[in-house]
Amino acid sequence: MSQIETYITEHQDQFLEDLKGWLRIPSISTSPEHKGDVLHAAEYAVGQLKDLGISHAGLIETQGHPLVYGEWLEAPGKPTLLIYGHYDVQPVDPIELWESAPFDPTIRNGNIYSRGACDDKGQVMLVLKALETLFQVNGTLPINVKILIEGEEEAGGESIEAYIKAYPERLGCDAAFICDTHMPSPETPALITGLRGIIYTEVVVHGAKRDLHSGTYGGVAPNPLHALAIIISRLKDADGHIHIPGLYDKLHKPSHEEKEFWRQDPLHMNDSFLKEMGVSQLSGELEYPPIERASARPTLEVHGIVGGFTGEGAKTVIPAVAKAKISLRLPPNLQSKEIFTLFEQAVKDAAPPDVRVEVVNLHGGEGVIVSPESQVMQAASEALNGVYGTKPVFLREGGSIPIAALFDEVLHVPVLLMGFGLPDDNLHAPNEKYSLQQFFNGVRTVASLLQKMAQ
């Protein structure tokens, strides 16, 4: 057994204890009442960095939640890798569906359950543990590293965007590594070659000046909830087609190779989706292969509707105002600002004339396409092959990591998107988990990646 392997094996419990300590902090970045917890989680990460040997580590203040930054640049002549992750987490509702409390990390059947277990504290922690392992075994790191961990990934990421744009030279590097993605199964390592961008909006519909009683006003009153239903049904039909004029015109055609890969579905994503969702048929644009729909097509989803009476029982109110949270996932080259303008116009065109509509742009981020040919991607491919015994597949992921586009556009460096999540990790849902086997394989892979980058 190599010294690396021995160290990892002997320190499994400690690695998990350090992860649990971080997971216990409810760093929900979108909740003002959790502001102190978010700061606490940032400070915890700084402590971890210092403990593992990165003495130059601390917080960078921003307009929002702080950035965690650490650097170790004592490998002259070797490449510098910028490592990115995030320490904030999603809200926990509906909390009643959690089998164990979201901030009481619990191990069951080889998984650790907690909000943030996979997204993204677990994935960041495995990188830190890979660094610790290399320091402990070799007394040094094989390459230079800069570590940047943000606290607003689930809240729009404005602060890190402003920082990167303001100080690109401070983050100078040879490659950027984002550890926040998935692989299709524990036997199928993957490297991500594309991500979708996003716009997240709130559509606010105003009717009468006050809530009304449907007995007295039903038949003459505007109903903002009904108007929202009409707007939403006009924006996307039951077959998954989005009716935003101009949207599909701007979509780049995928390569012949990608189309063949999607069509053949060698990873059996069709069956995986059916099983993971517990449905008998998939939804959406049936004329496209499922993996293409989930990773490379624009999508529009409603995430919540607010307005009227939603308690137990019956109340015959016609609300004065109703709101819907609606996002679009945008394949690379659909620019978020441009699409928001098209979306806003489409919403206004879809609205019945008896209501007044506002469209709020809560946040946006760009998609990205990365080349599988870069040195860092090749090193990662070899590292995964060494740990998993099989070469990784190159995939697009349907989620949005706007920081990837920023690294690409502002730092002009190759981006590595390598993560160890699994499809059933319940991201953004109750019972989020992370596979312990994936966590430790991640430590091994990242340690190997750094060694290979030094060669």
Interface of this chain with its own copies, residues 385 to 404, rule: CB under 8 A: 397-400
287 touches its own copies by CB under 8 A: no
Applying CB under 8 A, the span of 52-60, 131-139, 221-229, 337-345 interacting with its own copies comes to 221-229
222 touches its own copies by CB under 8 A: yes
Applying CB under 8 A, the span of 44-52, 58-66, 202-210, 258-266 interacting with its own copies comes to 202-210
For the segment 119-178, give every residue that binds its own copies (CB under 8 A).
154-156
Shortest gap between Cβ of 345 and its own copies (angstroms)?
A: 18
348 touches its own copies by CB under 8 A: no
- Beta-bridged to residue 201, according to DSSP, are 326, 361
Shortest gap between Cβ of 376 and its own copies (angstroms)?
A: 23
Phi, psi of 188 (to 5 degrees): -125, 85
Angle between helices 436-454 and 375-388 in degrees, nearest 10: 130
332 touches its own copies by CB under 8 A: no
Residue of 198, 342, 359, 450 interacting with its own copies (CB under 8 A): 198
How many other C-beta atoms lie within 10 A of the C-beta of residue 202? 16
Q: Which is nearer to its own copies, 59 or 317 (CB)?
A: 317
For the segment 356-385, give every residue that binds its own copies (CB under 8 A).
362-363
Rounded to a whole number, what is the distance in angstroms from the first to the last CA of the chain?
22
Residue of 73, 95, 97, 162 interacting with its own copies (CB under 8 A): 97
How many other C-beta atoms lie within 10 A of the C-beta of residue 317? 15
For the segment 27-56, give every residue that binds its own copies (CB under 8 A).
30-32
107 touches its own copies by CB under 8 A: no
Residue of 85, 116, 194, 207 interacting with its own copies (CB under 8 A): 207
Instruction: Detail the DSSP E strand segments found in 366-449.
Output: 368-369, 393-397, 415-417, 433-435
Phi, psi of 357 (to 5 degrees): -120, 135
Applying CB under 8 A, the span of 10-18, 67-75, 194-202, 378-386 interacting with its own copies comes to 194-202
Applying CB under 8 A, the span of 135-143, 281-289, 371-379, 436-444 interacting with its own copies comes to 281-289
Angle between helices 121-138 and 35-52 in degrees, nearest 10: 20
List the structure tokens of 213: 């009683």
For the segment 55-84, give every residue that binds its own copies (CB under 8 A).
none
Q: How big is the site for its own copies, counted in residues (CB under 8 A)?
A: 100
Applying CB under 8 A, the span of 132-140, 141-149, 158-166, 295-303 interacting with its own copies comes to 295-303
Angle between helices 436-454 and 12-23 in degrees, nearest 10: 110
Q: Which is nearer to its own copies, 262 or 440 (CB)?
A: 262
Q: Which is nearer to its own copies, 218 or 372 (CB)?
A: 218
Distance, CA of 25 to CA of 19 (rounded, Å): 11
Distance, CA of 47 to CA of 58 (rounded, Å): 9
The pairing of strands 393-397 and 144-150 is unpaired
Cα–Cα–Cα angle for 160, 165, 166, rounded to 5 degrees = 95
Q: Which is nearer to its own copies, 119 or 132 (CB)?
A: 119
- Residue 181: CB partners within 8 Å, gap ≥ 6? 190, 192, 397, 399, 401, 417, 418, 419, 421
Sign of the dihedral defined by the CA atoms of residues 325, 326, 331, 337, in that order: negative
Shortest gap between Cβ of 422 and its own copies (angstroms)?
A: 11
Residue of 233, 371, 390, 437 interacting with its own copies (CB under 8 A): 233
Residue of 139, 169, 210, 255 interacting with its own copies (CB under 8 A): 210
Which residue's entry shows tokens 């987490």? Answer: 89
Q: Which is nearer to its own copies, 260 or 276 (CB)?
A: 276
Residue of 146, 293, 444, 452 interacting with its own copies (CB under 8 A): 293
List the structure tokens of 349: 């065109």
Read off the DSSP letter of residue 129.
H
For the segment 395-454, give every residue that binds its own copies (CB under 8 A).
397-400, 423, 426-431
Residue 308 Rama label (left phi>0; alpha psi -120 to 50; beta) = left
Q: Which is nearer to its own copies, 12 or 185 (CB)?
A: 185
Residue of 144, 223, 438, 448 interacting with its own copies (CB under 8 A): 223
Q: Which is nearer to its own copies, 70 or 151 (CB)?
A: 151
Applying CB under 8 A, the span of 58-66, 80-88, 91-99, 387-395 interacting with its own copies comes to 91-99
Distance, CA of 116 to CA of 129 (rounded, Å): 17
Q: Which is nearer to its own copies, 340 or 440 (CB)?
A: 340
Distance, CA of 417 to CA of 332 (rounded, Å): 15
Return the SS3 of 280: coil
